């Protein structure tokens, strides 16, 4: 968080616009952030409304917004651009697809690849978490569909979660169902929202909660009809932005810094842990079985 605060105060918006090709239009128009990365297929659509200072980030990686290395890299770059843009104070994170917010980490990135690939992938997952959980902006997740594991983590990183009131949509950290283990920083993020007891049970069982259940345990803050998710997110954002930025940001930092520092202090060790865990034959087998089942369910 401290690192992001420094970035924000030291990079003038003019410089940002120049280096990242941010095109500014009239007051009422939406701005489109175009990524220049050659490998980018624009899996993330970002629209910044200059008059409100609110950006809407829509995940758009078919079919299910799984978090691949490319996706995560593009996500972190997009987020960093917004973070250092003084004209942007709030971020609404949502999905371009009805029914799916995000399917979580892309399982194919964790199967049958090299140790180097796993290390790069895990670093990208860490970066996504550090940037989103440590953001100075007001962040609101407009959860318009199911959101297992890494998808749930993204929503949990936000300051407030609004979910579509549909019992068919589920959210939770289901890692144990795949035969894997949610890392300590996933666990800490959940504890900070729902407390130790609920987290322990959820993680052991790999529990997915329907939208009403998630609301009941406090994993999501508000349930609204599917067609009201975006408008409600905008309305809640207005409330949050009425608080002076410096006071809100310092409070957020005070609450989240210990959790963030814990990973920052052992980022390399956490990558090594992940690589040695995911390369075990038994873990590779579990993931492959899970993936095959997913593909066969149709
Ligand atoms: C000792 C301590 C050591 C610590 C080490 C730490 C290790 C921790 C490692 C990792 C943490 C992991 C985090 C994760 O996020 S794992 C991912 C968990 N995600 C899931 O379980 C979601 C699985 N998907 C679903 O449940 C469903 O797909 C759905 C509800 C998201 C959507 O359902 P539906 O609309 O019916 O779509 P399909 O199921 O038909 O899927 C379409 C298509 O997409 C593929 N797919 C789905 N999810 C993923 C995914 N997460 N990754 C890759 N691919 C995915 C699916 O297979 C279909 O493919 P197709 O048949 O080829 O079309």
Three-state secondary-structure class, residue 42? coil
Distance CA 102, CA 130 (A): 18
**pLDDT of 168 above 80:** yes
Q: Which of 87, 150, 172, 206 is catalytic?
A: 150
Distances 166 to 46, 66, 100, 209, 250 between C-alpha atoms, Å: 26, 21, 12, 11, 35
pLDDT 10s digits, 178-207: 999 999 999 999 999 999 999 999 999 999
**pLDDT of 11 above 80:** no
In contact, 18 and 81? CB cutoff 8 Å: no
41 annotated active-site = no
Closest CA to 101 of 267, 256, 220, 268: 220
Q: Is the CB of 78 under 6 A from ligand 1?
A: no
Q: Which of 105, 130, 132, 223 is catalytic?
A: 105
Cβ-proximal residues to 30 (8 Å cutoff; 6+ apart), any chain: 47, 48, 49
Q: What is the ipTM of this complex?
A: 0.98
**Residue 107 CA to ligand 1 centre (angstroms):** 6
pLDDT for position 297: 80
Q: Is the CB of 283 under 6 A from ligand 1?
A: no
In contact, 157 and 132? CB cutoff 8 Å: yes
Cβ-proximal residues to 239 (8 Å cutoff; 6+ apart), any chain: none
**Residue 5 CA to ligand 1 centre (angstroms):** 34
Distance CA 21, CA 16 (A): 8
105 annotated active-site = yes
Closest CA to 79 of 56, 104, 103: 56
**pLDDT of 160 above 60:** yes
Alpha carbon 239 to chain centroid, angstroms: 22
pLDDT 10s digits, 254-291: 999 999 999 999 999 999 999 999 999 999 999 999 99
């Amino acid at each position: 968080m401290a690192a992001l605060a420094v970035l924000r105060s030291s990079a003038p918006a003019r410089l940002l616009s120049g280096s990242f090709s941010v095109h500014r239009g009239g007051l009422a128009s939406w701005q489109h952030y175009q990524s220049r990365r050659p490998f980018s297929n624009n899996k993330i659509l970002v629209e910044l409304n200059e008059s409100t200072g609110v950006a809407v980030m829509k995940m758009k990686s078919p079919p299910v917004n799984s978090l691949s290395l490319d996706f995560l890299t593009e996500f972190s770059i997009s987020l960093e651009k917004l973070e250092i843009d003084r004209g942007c104070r709030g971020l609404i994170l949502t999905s371009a697809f009805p029914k799916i917010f995000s399917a979580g980490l892309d399982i194919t990135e964790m199967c049958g690849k090299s140790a180097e690939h796993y290390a790069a992938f895990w670093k990208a997952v860490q970066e996504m978490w550090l940037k989103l959980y440590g953001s100075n902006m007001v962040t609101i997740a407009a959860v318009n569909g199911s959101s297992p594991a890494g998808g749930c983590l993204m929503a949990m990183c936000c300051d407030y979660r609004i979910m579509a009131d549909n019992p068919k949509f589920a959210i939770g950290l289901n890692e144990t169902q795949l035969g894997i283990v949610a890392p300590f920083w996933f666990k800490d993020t959940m504890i900070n929202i729902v407390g130790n007891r609920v987290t322990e049970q959820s993680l052991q069982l790999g529990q997915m909660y329907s939208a009403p259940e998630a609301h009941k345990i406090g994993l999501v803050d508000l349930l609204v009809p599917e067609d009201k998710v975006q408008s409600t997110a905008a309305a809640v954002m207005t409330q949050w932005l009425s608080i002076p930025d410096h006071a809100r940001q310092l409070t957020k930092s005070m609450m989240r810094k210990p959790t963030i520092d814990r990973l920052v202090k052992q980022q390399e060790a956490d990558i090594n842990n992940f690589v040695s865990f995911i390369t075990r034959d038994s873990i590779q087998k579990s993931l492959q079985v899970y993936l095959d089942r997913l593909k066969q369910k149709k």
